[in-house]
Amino acid sequence: MFRRLPNPLRLSILWIGLALSKLGLVDARRVRRATDLAWPRIVTGLARMSKNAVDVAMVGIAAGSAAIAGVGLAMPFWGLGRAVGGGVAGGTIALVSQRYGADAYAELGDAIRSSFVLALGLSIPFTVAFFLVPEELISLLTSDAESIRLGAVYLQTVSLGIPFACLNLVGSRLYVGMDDSWTPMVIRAGGATVNIVLNAVFIFGLDLGVFGAALGTTVASIAVTVAFAVGLIAGRLPGIGTFPIQVDPFGSYLTAQTHRELFSIGTPVLAKMVVWRLSEFPILAIVARFGPEIVAAYVIARRIFDLMNTPGWGFSLACSSLVGQELGTGNEQRAEIYAREIVLFAVVVYGVLGAAVFVFAEPITLLFVDDPSELSVSTAVAFVYSACGAVVFKGVARVTDGALNGAGDTQWPFYSQAIGMFGVAIPVAYIGATTSLGVIGLYLIFFAESVIPAAINYRRFDGGEWKVISRGYRPPASKADD
């Protein structure tokens, strides 16, 4: 019933897509299909990135800029552990979407169970490391004692939720691969909402500060995992309805061929995400040279940039799923058409969103602090302006990444991310910290991490090699159609 209710976000995105179709730039039917698959994922992204932004805002209001800096320094460690789930999920969506498109339902259970056990096994070591030595890890990025103390409290507590966060990523991707982005939206956006409520209770009601923010994240991650597990095993979940599949929990978890394919597709995705997360450490260390106030300004702008990037959550995964499904039927031409139109569609949506945030950059920034005197507001706003300009290129990078992932061609997005971050963003930031370029070098970080991957990913997609690579991962029935 709830799926049929009017949704302002869906209608806004659809309106943009239909306007493009009237100009003859995209096909209206494909716009509708992409929108229906993308918007629930965008809602999930908004909910989760809003949760991260609220974390920063709540601890900032409760404990000041040192708390913002501490949480900001701890989050890349959390993201590094969570990247394992993203890598496995990259393989999951490729395998599931191609099997779903080819009606090879018997192989879906093996892919799902193998994905879950792989994500769990790879994530636990991160939990152990972050729980045992949090202060030592945070101190690698800053010498500010208060930021180290608060960051260590956040990291140690949130580390317990890393395995559950990884499982949640895999659970979300498998549904998107089967044309169902509604179910993961309800579960994960619901979890993000619970997280925000718990944070408010823990931070302000129980006066737990940074520890309360981390505790809320961990509890909410566990709740989402339980919901996915119950729904997959039972085939339905109260309040959501019947799921598209039901998974036997007693089936095989160690199917050799499936694990090989997950590793083959997922390893470059994991490497790309690890590169992204690892690059955050030297960048934060460089930013920390400017002092806690600049760190807080950068962390605030980063949270706003992440919010602006949420359309990529939907369009990228919609592109992966639709491209994978078309390839599963052997229709390479239609897969390419879908990808090109979704890229254009996404770029326009990103442009509209970036322009809106640019206009209201200062009032949005001030939402993160109770006392503006504790923050370099002008620097934070300048960071946001830079993010607004760079986010359109981020859209191109994300959606072409999705198209390549859907085909199983996951190496080049890794290369593009590595070159963008380690080849350009970090050197530019370091030059800013050590020369008269100053903080301007930090503003350029957003462009470096967006423009370079956008150019490389699009070039790879435009070359068409991904079609050939996809043939090695398709079910036998679709390979025969090539």
pLDDT in tens, 148-181: 888 888 899 988 988 888 888 777 777 766 767 6
Percent of the chain with pLDDT over 70: 81
Burial of 358 (0-12, 13-18, 19+ CB in 10 A): middle
Residues 296-331 have pLDDT tens digits of 888 888 888 988 988 888 888 788 878 877 887 778
Phi and psi at 241, nearest 5°, equal: 110, -160
- pLDDT bin (cut points 50, 70, 90) of residue 368 is confident
Residue 147: the pLDDT is: 80
- Angle among Cα 196, 372, 45 to the nearest 5 degrees reads 30
What is the pLDDT averaged over residues 344-373? 86
Q: Where are the domains of the chain?
A: 2-474
Does 481 score more than 60 pLDDT?
A: no
Residue 408: the pLDDT is: 77
Does 200 score more than 80 pLDDT?
A: yes
Residue 479: the pLDDT is: 47
User: Which residue's entry shows tokens 């101190």?
Assistant: 139
Closest by CA position to 339, among listed 400, 390, 283, 295: 400
| 3-state SS assignment for residue 178 | coil
CA distance 351 to 306: 15
- pLDDT bin (cut points 50, 70, 90) of residue 2 is very low
Does 480 score more than 60 pLDDT?
A: no
Does 257 score more than 70 pLDDT?
A: no
Q: What is the pTM of this model?
A: 0.69
Pick 123 or 60 by higher pLDDT: 123
Does 365 score more than 80 pLDDT?
A: yes
Does 391 score more than 70 pLDDT?
A: yes
Report H helices in 177-208: 182-200
What is the pLDDT averaged over residues 437-457? 90
CA distance 414 to 408: 13
Closest by CA position to 451, among listed 395, 401, 409, 410: 395
Closest by CA position to 220, among listed 253, 249, 198, 245: 198
Indicate if the alpha-carbon torsion angle 118, 121, 123, 125 is positive or negative. negative
Single-letter residue type at 403: A
CA distance 323 to 56: 36
